[in-house]
Amino acid sequence: MSQDLHKEVQSRKTFAIISHPDAGKTTMTEQLLLFGGVIRSAGTVKGKKSGKFATSDWMEIEKQRGISVTSSVMQFDYEGSRINILDTPGHSDFSEDTYRTLMAVDSAVMVIDAAKGIEAQTMKLFKVCRMRGIPIFTFINKMDRQGKMPLELLAELEEVLGIESYPMNWPIGMGKELMGLYDRYHRVVEQYRVPEEDRFLELGEEGDLKAANPLQDSGYYQQALEEIMLLDEAGNEYDEQKIQQGELTPVFFGSALANFGVETFLRTFVNFAPAPSAHEANVGNVEANENYFSGFVFKIQANMNPAHRDRIAFVRICSGEFDRGMSVTLTRTGKAIKLANSTQFMADDRETLNRAVAGDIIGLYDTGNYQIGDTITNGPKQLQFEKLPQFTPELFMKVSAKNVMKQKHFHKGVEQLVQEGAIQLFKTWRLEEYIIGAVGQLQFEVFEHRMRNEYNSEIIMEPIGKKIARWIREEDVDEKLSTARSMLVKDRFDQPLFLFENEFAVNWFKDKNPDIELTSLL
């Protein structure tokens, strides 16, 4: 790899933003895009009357509900770095999409609501980051509202998540009394709600303000100094190696909605976020600076542009350099594919991409070649990156077309939405009636909405409730074992499985059929 290309790869910062719903993740994403010069004004997610929606929420249902239900990708340049942000759904019903997205990033930004602290979904996503050893940067949001005390929030990070923390800045006051941020790293004070030219105040050697300022006489400023002294004496030491290993999280306080503390966060993050790292594969670790191109499909999205009925495969480039028109091998099938139609993203805005390097996320127009988890490369033909997680669904619905004359629309819609990986398709053993399974209820609502709006197909959904899905070997299939408590079905690859009514039904089946092995996905 040439020096220039190596330098280019090192400038890539590819990260996901994770949080519990309503912690301010999408607002945070918008502010980062603002500093990247990508958008002129940040839309507020809840500002439905104004018609301003979050740039990263492109799907119609997201605009209606004011939530993110699909991962979106945004790219921009900032101070010599190429930033790739993957904004993930916060809602737990979409955790599978988020988990796969976390396989495609080099670091994560965890947004926490200062009033609520660490919530259930944050905990789940944090565990995935820990499992992969991804460096985590924490932004404690909504400091312009009354919330938990900063020291309490740090204690929560360490006790609940089991990760050491180092506050890069410290709030001066909170809520209506928020006066500013004491930036420990840059040694400045960032004042809140003052003219731009007065915003930053330099600190002297003793940590006091260099110039006379009313802030210095404030009780909140004195309290902040005392707490910082406590952190200096008893807090964790700053350790860059621990940050890179995901054992220490740098913590930033601020308010995304008020755009306070966000730019300082971005500037510091760009300095410390890791460049593209190696990815595990069946041929050993694939380094970003390998001479050949390689990448994997972590997401497939249909109808990002409903007018064109397109389908995009999102690819994380793991090594080398992408050039439009290059030929690669899809290693799952051994098929040679020419990458002629490629795109880069700004949520739903796209432009043709001619070149990209390791660390970048690119979109490939897909006519049905790709599946989630596919590896493409012009290097070793047997190369296969580690499998992406797929979850065993827990909720199931029978689904059929309301209008039998529109079966073509119905089948096309089901097939394409299933290939995105959010829902899974099953068929009854004999009649091949469609059953869809999902991890959460909201997935069904999104499915119904998209079938109607994107495929012009009204559907009938009949709940069959919560089931336990367990796969069996083909040689063990016996239709006599199919009952109301253990329904024999097949998945979209025609693999047989049972949908059990409950844990009791699973155990009863095991007792009666000890020779039949039952397996789950995850």
DSSP states along 251-283: EEE-BTTTTBSHHHHHHHHHHHSPPP--B-BBT
Q: How far apart are CA 181 and CA 254, in angstroms?
A: 8
Query: Is residue 85 in a domain?
Result: no
363 is in an annotated binding site: no
Range of the structural domain that residue 482 is part of = 395-512
Assess whether 123 and 250 both reside in one domain.
yes
CA trace torsion 457, 55, 47, 300 (10° rounding): 30
Instruction: Output the CA torsion sign for 195, 196, 199, 204.
Output: negative
Number of domains in the chain: 3
Backbone angles phi, psi at 298, to 5 degrees: -110, -5
What's the pLDDT score for residue 89? 63
Amino acid present at 375: T
Q: How far apart are CA 344 and CA 356, in angstroms?
A: 9
Query: Is residue 235 in a domain?
Result: yes
Assess whether 254 and 283 both reside in one domain.
no
Assess whether 502 and 366 both reside in one domain.
no
Tokens of 499: 């949908």
88 is in an annotated binding site: yes
Assess whether 259 and 368 both reside in one domain.
no
Tokens of 334: 């051994």
24 is in an annotated binding site: yes
Provide the 3-class DSSP secondary structure of residue 149: coil
For the purposes of burial, counting CB atoms within 10 Å of the CB of 324, is it exposed (0-12), middle (13-18) or buried (19 or more)?
middle
Assess whether 403 and 370 both reside in one domain.
no
Assess whether 134 and 262 both reside in one domain.
yes
294 is in an annotated binding site: no
Please choose, from the candidates 513, 522, 462, 473, the residue with its C-alpha nearest in 3D space to the C-alpha of residue 497: 473
Query: Is residue 344 in a domain?
Result: yes
Query: Is residue 425 in a domain?
Result: yes
**What DSSP element (H or E) covers 397?**
strand 395-401
Please choose, from the candidates 493, 486, 494, the residue with its C-alpha nearest in 3D space to the C-alpha of residue 518: 486
306 is in an annotated binding site: no
87 is in an annotated binding site: yes
308 is in an annotated binding site: no
Assess whether 249 and 189 both reside in one domain.
yes
Residues 6 or more apart in contact with residue 278 via CB below 8 angstroms: 285, 286, 287, 288
Q: How far apart are CA 492 and CA 425, in angstroms?
A: 6
Provide the 3-class DSSP secondary structure of residue 326: coil
pTM, rounded to two decimals:
0.80
In the listed set 235, 254, 272, which residue is the last one of a domain according to the structure?
272
Q: Are strands 311-319 and 496-500 parallel, antiparallel or unpaired?
A: unpaired
Q: How far apart are CA 441 and CA 209, in angstroms?
A: 54
Amino acid present at 348: D
Assess whether 208 and 254 both reside in one domain.
yes
186 is in an annotated binding site: no
What's the pLDDT score for residue 307? 58
6 is in an annotated binding site: no
**DSSP code of residue 317:** E
Assess whether 173 and 262 both reside in one domain.
yes
In the listed set 314, 346, 377, which residue is the last one of a domain according to the structure?
377
- Which CATH number covers residue 496? 3.30.70.3280
In the listed set 254, 272, 290, which residue is the last one of a domain according to the structure?
272
What's the pLDDT score for residue 308? 52
What's the pLDDT score for residue 62? 45
Per-residue pLDDT tens over the stretch 348-396: 455 677 899 999 999 898 888 898 899 999 999 999 999 887 778 889 9
**What DSSP element (H or E) covers 189?**
strand 188-191
Q: How far apart are CA 195 and CA 176, in angstroms?
A: 18
Chain centroid to Cα 319, Å, comes to 21
Query: Is residue 86 in a domain?
Result: no
Ranges of the chain whose pLDDT falls below 50: 41-59, 61-63, 65-71, 90-91, 347-348
- Which CATH number covers residue 339? 3.40.50.300
**DSSP code of residue 199:** S
**What DSSP element (H or E) covers 345?**
strand 342-346
Please choose, from the candidates 505, 514, 399, the residue with its C-alpha nearest in 3D space to the C-alpha of residue 457: 399
Q: How far apart are CA 76 and CA 85, in angstroms?
A: 9
131 is in an annotated binding site: no
3-state helix, strand, coil split of the chain in percent (to 5) is: 30, 30, 40
Q: How far apart are CA 521 and CA 517, in angstroms?
A: 13
Assess whether 33 and 167 both reside in one domain.
yes
Query: Is residue 6 in a domain?
Result: no
CB of 129 closer than 8 Å to CB of 103: no
Q: How far is CA 340 from CA 213, 354, 491, 498, in A?
A: 60, 9, 33, 42
Assess whether 345 and 243 both reside in one domain.
no
CB atoms within 10 A of CB 244: 16
21 is in an annotated binding site: yes
Query: Is residue 521 in a domain?
Result: no
Q: How far is CA 500 from CA 78, 96, 103, in A?
A: 52, 22, 31
Assess whether 266 and 284 both reside in one domain.
no
Q: How far apart are CA 171 and CA 260, in angstroms?
A: 11
Query: Is residue 81 in a domain?
Result: no
